[in-house]
Chains A and B, each alone.
Chain A
Amino acid sequence: MPVTKVLTDGIGEVDLRDLAVYRARGGYRQWERAVRELQPADVLAAAETSGLRGRGGAGFPTGRKWSFLPTDKHVRYLVCNCDEAEPGTFKDHMLLEEAPHLVLEGILLGAYGIACHHAFIYIRGEFKRGYEIFVRALEEARQAGLVGSNVFGSGFDIEVTAHRGAGAYICGEETGLLNSLEGKRGEPRLKPPFPAIEGLYGAPTVVNNVETLAYLVPILEKGANWFASVGTERSKGYKIVSVSGHVQKPGNYEIALGTTVREIIEIAGGLRPGRRLMAVQPGGGSSACIFEEHLDLPYDYESMAKAGSMLGSGAFVVFDDTTDFVAAAYNMVRFFAHESCGQCTPCREGGHWIETVLARLVRGEGIEGDDAMMLRVAGTITGLNLCALGDSIEPFLKSVLVRFPDAFKARIPSAAPASAVAS
Chain B
Amino acid sequence: MSEREAKFPALLAELRPHCERLIAQYERKRSALLPIVHLFQEREGYVSHEAMRAVAAMLDLTPAEVESTVSFYTLFFRRPIGKYLIQVCRGLSCSINGAPEVMARCRERLGVGHLGTTADGLFSYEEVECLAACDRATCAQVNLEFVYDLTPAAVDAMLDDLRAGTATVRPLVQTDPPGAIWSIRQDEQVATGTKALGSRGVTNPNNAGGVGDAAGLIMLDRIVNKTVSFHEATRERAVRDSRAVRDVVEEEEAQAHAGH
Contact = CB atoms under 8 A, between A and B. Distances in A.
A332 B92 contact: yes
Contact of A183 (B30, B131, B219, B245): B30
B192 interface: no
B234 interface: no
Nearest to A250: B135
Contact of A129 (B34, B38, B145, B221): B145
Contacts of A322: 96
Interface in A137-180: 161, 163-170, 180
Nearest to A346: B220
Interface residues of A, number: 78
A341 B207 contact: yes
Interface string B131-143: 1111111000100
Interface in A6-51: none
A185 B69 contact: yes
A384 B146 contact: no
A243 interface: yes
Interface residues of B, number: 61
B32 interface: yes
Interface of A: 84-90, 92-93, 118, 124-129, 161, 163-170, 180-187, 201, 242-246, 250-252, 281, 285, 315, 317, 319, 322-323, 327-328, 331-332, 335, 337-343, 345-346, 348-353, 355, 367, 369, 373, 376-377, 380-381, 384
Contacts of A317: 92-93, 134
Residue in B30, B31, B34 with the greatest tally of chain A CB atoms within 10 Å: B34
Interface string B28-67: 1111111101100000000000000000000100000000
Interface of B: 25-35, 37-38, 59, 68-69, 72-76, 90-93, 95-97, 128-137, 141, 144-146, 202, 204, 206-212, 216-217, 219-221, 223-225, 245-246
A348 B74 contact: no
Contacts of B217: 349-350, 353, 377
A166, A183, A245, A246: most-surrounded residue (chain B CB, <10 A): A183
B212 A352 contact: yes
Contact of B132 (A85, A161, A181): A85
A341 B209 CA distance: 9
Contacts of B246: 367, 369, 373
Contact of A126 (B26, B29, B34, B144): B144
A323 B95 CA distance: 10
